[in-house]
Amino acid sequence: MATQKFLVRHKDSTYEVDYNAETGLEVLRCQLYSLTLVPPKSQNIYRKDNFPVKDDSDLLADSGSSVEELRVVSMEEDVASASTMETSDKELARLLQEYYASPGKKEFEKRIQSHIRGVLMYEDAVLQEEARKTVPVDELEEKALISLAKEGNFIPSKAEQDHAFLLQLLFWFKKSFRWVNSPPCDACGRETSFINRGTASASELEYGASNVELFGCNSCSRITRFPRYNDPRKLLETRRGRCGEWANCFTLYCRAFGFKSRLILDFSDHVWTECFSDCIGRWMHLDPCEGVYDNPLLYEKGWKKKLSYIIGIAKDGVCDVTKRYTRKWPEVLSRRVLTSEDDVSAVLADITRECRRGLSSQECAILGDCDKKAAEELGKGHDSNDDDSIALPGRQSGDKEWRLARSEIGPEENSSLSCFSCPIRTCIDDHVKSIYNALFLLLCSFAHERVSREKTLENIQMLKSLLVDLRNSPFRRRRALVNPWFLFFTESKMLSSVDGFLSALSLKKDLEGDGSLSVCLSGNPIKVSMALPVALDALDELMYNLENVKRFGMEPLSLPVVKFNRLCSGSVQASGEELPVGIVTSAFDGLRLSKWEEPNGARGAWIVYKLLDGEMQELVAYELMSADDAPERDPKDWIVEGSDDGGCTWVVLDTQHSQFFDSRFMRKTYRVELERRMSNAFRWVTPLEPLSLNVNLEFCIIDLHLFCKHTKMQRLPWPTIRLHGGFSVMSDSYVAGSPAIDCLESNILGARNSVLANPILQYECFCRLTTCHTFFLLPKQADPDFYKIGYVRHVRAYGVEFKEGPDGFGVFASRDVEPTRRARVIMEIPLELMLTISQKIPWMFFPDIVPIGHPIFDIINSANHETDWDLRLACLLLFAFDCEDNFWQLYGDFLPSDNECTSLLLAEEDELSELQDQSLAVTMKEQQQRILEFWEKNWHSGVPLKIKRLADDFERFLWAVGIAQSRCINLRMRIGALVQDANMLIPYADMLNHSFQPNCLLHWRFKDRMLEVMINAGQHIRKGDEMTINYMHGKKNNMFMQRYGFSSPTNPWDSIQFSGNSKIHLDSFLSAFNIAGLPDEFYHNSEDT
């Protein structure tokens, strides 16, 4: 294109510039910079017609001909020009005031003075006490603390608590005070219509009702009087009125609770309140009629009011706060023609001086400083920019005709305070996940014990009644008595499950002085306040779902009957939301009565959910619950997307069309079928609805359920996983990501109850495995031949039999055993089934297991007999595995391999770094170092081959130590007068299961080199009872579990939490012993017995 010439003007200079369209506007700006010294980023370029030049196309006129003349102005010059225009507007307003204002000074003063007496009444101590008595203080304090906790603030400061309480006081007042358009008929209660104004009676004048409105009944023609009381004492009684009564009474409440408050008088006919908040360090706008706070532009921007004078009236002075409520000060100034600005300042100063007449000079000085700071705040505030992301509504209080007559209805009749450029919010909802998981375990315990559906529902109802009693008790000291017939608290096998449920609610059991059982707080009372309504909603939904289950058992316990592995604690952002309660996190709080509201949802809406710390997870299913009001606000079509890069790119995971929610609070479950992939962000998107552009979109609850899979490769907790439904799953140790998972889904319970869709299988299989393996499906495995070879052939049994029970192969009584004073022997376990190392010198050994003179002796003797018993026992175990025709060689094939052992001894450094308990991680590193030093010392290159082959690599020896620790029992042996404390390795855990009340004990009989299993003295055993035993004794049980990764230090049956998704569960600990069942059967092991 040919070069064009432009005539460029800048200030008083003119330049000719050649412009080439191929090089573009940026080159032209550089040319202008060389001529005008105005930097390219600071240039404002205008055409001759004053049209701004933004891109190359603006350099062409409408006809297409080149523009010949341009003007360059710096941005600073443009700002100065705008300031000059504003100054001229202010000057015009000043001239208008001088022309109109002179006669209005007294009228201005009179309007303010009429409210002074009422404001001073707020300081009456008796009146304040009367006001406080009408407020449910505990309820508002609880709600205030909950509102802070939902933001993650569980330990707020005094200022934060006061600020939150003030807002709850506003919301409570909005609901408890009644707006009057026209009062109901005093005679028949029907609607009335305004007739005229009447004359106030003496009793009405006593409470400041100089204005009385008369209304005629539309049915019986009876006249109803509506006196407009101004005395807040009377308003505490009537609790009704319009904006004048509302603001009057609410300001009294604010003063009654110690807030620095003032009544705000708007000369354009409105009244509200301001309070000083120590939390935000400034005065805050509160409108009790609208239930809106800290939105001072509500009237100008939302109601479209033509403001003039807005005056704050307090006990210690008055002030002009108009600038806080406008961003159009020149326009407002032009309407302030009642009197001059000088007169306004003089009147306010005189009234303030009169209000402070009785104060000391020091108090007056403090108030003066406060006035100065407030004036500076107003001066800064009115120059700030509007927040265009906040949509301010028209007036909501009052009927439509009244609002229209006042021109306060705003641009959209049904609009509300909303935000369409929402901040990123954090979901404080880990308690929701804990409650769902705990309810799942409760149902499992019922199904496992074969409790009928009717009995289950009865006990769930009793549990709900207990929670209702707790909810109705004072939140700081909640306590409720337990129904003595409550199965959860009377059946020992369910105690662990109910304790877990109470713990999820931050509750615990407690014994009263009269022996009755109660439930009370176990931690922060606000955590209970947040959890109780979630639990009650979950119980209601659970009972509804169970009533529609045809057959109660393990198989129906899947979505949507129970929820498991719900996503929580992520960050979320939405396309829009209603303030203050319809924000997007309300969809993730587990509550029916809260909801996310998108005011422009019909125009398309979205939610982006990002996982905590960028964690990668796989979405299996999600659930949506309809909100409480209009069905037309339910979504119909949407897509769900996933992202593995934090939201930069998205992949469609699920698509839904023409969805319909039949009822309110209806939950629908959607399983992700289109594509499953690891993601760290999810997005839910609805399309544009062209036929309903003014309809809001609402959700009550959104739950995201995950398939627990960690991104790191980690060891399997055990080789055999026993599942409900009649199958066991064996791992062939292939790598993660195998397509055989799909085969597993289709074979276990069919497509409908697949592993990924069934929380039972998910809980018992995938949540324990932290990486995917290929699985082969086998019939339920209980190998009697192993036990016959390993035990029955060697063990002498008296009155017991080996058979398969409901929880796996075990030992059961073959006849009734009456209680006796002495422990009765039921089994004798011979030497071949034991490995024993004494903790004292001389250490004991058995020649038929370890031949005398074998070099392993020297290695064992080199270890400390008191602190290194596990190293000594590991050496003995490795030697036993090396011997031919040895029972331990057979048993070694059954033990978990070094790739499957659960001991944290085998964890790598990066895996240990993920433990939240770093003291445990340090302990494990120290233990690994101790074992490494021992192995390097004794397995060096010069050792004999028969020693080297026992543990030719360090991991093999580390595994042996882990096995020794996990299979070890401690026993005191008596040999005549000699008492020995021994560490014994015996696989009895694979033969004897465990329960809440073990009925057997161990005893060593040296004479025959036997270990006896004996029934506890005084124990009554019935035929068919399972023989159960505690696997250790004393504190070493807990220490063992803490040290080697099966539990947490505070509660040995809790799982250890990692920073990622990985966990080591109680079940993985039990699986190391080939024990199946629910946690409550083994609860006794957490106690020192």
pLDDT at 890 over 70: no
Domain 571-708 in this protein, CATH class:
mainly beta
Q: Residue 681 — very low, low, confident or very high, per pLDDT cuts 50/70/90?
A: very high
Closest CA to 474 of 397, 412, 529: 529
Rounded to a whole number, what is the distance in angstroms from the first to the last CA of the chain? 96
User: 797 by DSSP, 3-state: which?
Assistant: strand
Level-2 CATH architecture, domain 106-180+242-381? Roll (3.10)
Distance CA 852, CA 856 (A): 10
Which of 16-30, 189-203, 486-500 reaches the highest mean pLDDT?
189-203
Longest alpha-carbon distance in the chain: 122
620-638 tens-digit pLDDT? 888 888 888 778 888 888 9
Mention every residue, 6+ apart, whose C-beta is less than 8 A from residue 877: 835, 888, 960, 963, 964, 985
Does the active-site annotation cover 270? yes
Which residue's entry shows tokens 């946690």? Answer: 1079
Closest CA to 872 of 832, 843, 837: 837
Where along the chain do its domains lie?
3-76, 106-180+242-381, 571-708, 803-1044
The active-site residue out of 10, 115, 163, 270 is 270
- Higher local confidence (pLDDT), 975 or 638: 638
Report pLDDT for 146.
Answer: 95
Q: What phi and psi values does residue 332 have, to the nearest 5 degrees? A: -60, -40
Structure tokens at 13: 């200079």
With a threshold of 0.85, does the pTM exceed it? no
User: What Cα–Cα distance (Å) separates residue 341 from each residue in 108, 308, 352, 368, 577?
Assistant: 11, 12, 17, 20, 41
Q: Please, how many CA atoms are within 13 Å of residue 311, restricted to the half-sphere of its CB?
A: 26
DSSP string, 68-83: -EEEEEEHHHHHHHHH
Report pLDDT for 143.
Answer: 95
Report pLDDT for 886.
Answer: 61
Q: Where are the alpha helices (DSSP H) in 607-748?
A: 740-748
pLDDT at 900 over 70: no
Q: Residue 38 — very low, low, confident or very high, per pLDDT cuts 50/70/90?
A: confident
Task: Give the residues across from 971 on adjacent strands.
Answer: 982
The active-site residue out of 162, 266, 287, 654 is 287
Window from 17-26, 149-158, 568-577 with minimum mean pLDDT: 17-26
Q: Tell me the mean pLDDT in the region 546-556.
A: 69
Task: Give the residues across from 476 on adjacent strands.
Answer: none
Long-range contacts of 346-352 (CB under 8 A, 24+ apart): 347/105, 347/108, 347/109, 347/112, 348/112, 348/311, 348/318, 348/319, 348/320, 350/109, 351/109, 351/112, 351/113, 351/116, 351/317, 351/318, 352/316, 352/317, 352/318, 352/319
Under CATH, what is the fold of the domain 3-76? Ubiquitin-like (UB roll) (3.10.20)
Window from 55-59, 503-507, 508-512, 949-953 with minimum mean pLDDT: 55-59
CATH of 803-1044, one of 3.90.1410.10, 3.40.50.460, 1.20.1250.20, 3.40.250.10: 3.90.1410.10
- E runs forming strands in 145-267: 178-179, 192-198, 212-217, 223-227, 240-241, 261-266
pLDDT at 1051 over 50: no
Does the active-site annotation cover 657? no
Q: Tell me the mean pLDDT in the region 818-832.
A: 75
Report pLDDT for 897.
Answer: 67
Which of 153-162, 681-690, 851-860 reaches the highest mean pLDDT?
153-162
Amino acid making up residue 518: S
Q: How many helices, marked H, and strands, marked E, lie in the chain?
A: 30, 47
Q: Tell me the mean pLDDT in the region 762-771.
A: 26
The active-site residue out of 185, 217, 243, 1000 is 243
Which residue's entry shows tokens 């700071």? Answer: 373
Distance CA 587, CA 623 (A): 11
Mention every residue, 6+ apart, whose C-beta is less than 8 A from residue 912: 904, 921, 924, 925
Q: Residue 995 — very low, low, confident or very high, per pLDDT cuts 50/70/90?
A: very low
In our burial notation (b when 16+ CB lie closer than 10 A, e otherwise), range 291-304 reads bbbebbbbbbbbbe
User: What Cα–Cα distance (Å) separates residue 928 from each residue in 191, 248, 955, 959, 961?
Assistant: 84, 73, 10, 11, 10
Q: Where are the alpha helices (DSSP H) in 417-553?
A: 430-448, 453-472, 487-490, 495-504, 525-547
Looking at every residue in the chain, the average pLDDT score rounds to 74
User: 65 by DSSP, 3-state: which?
Assistant: coil
Element (H, E) at 678: strand 678-679
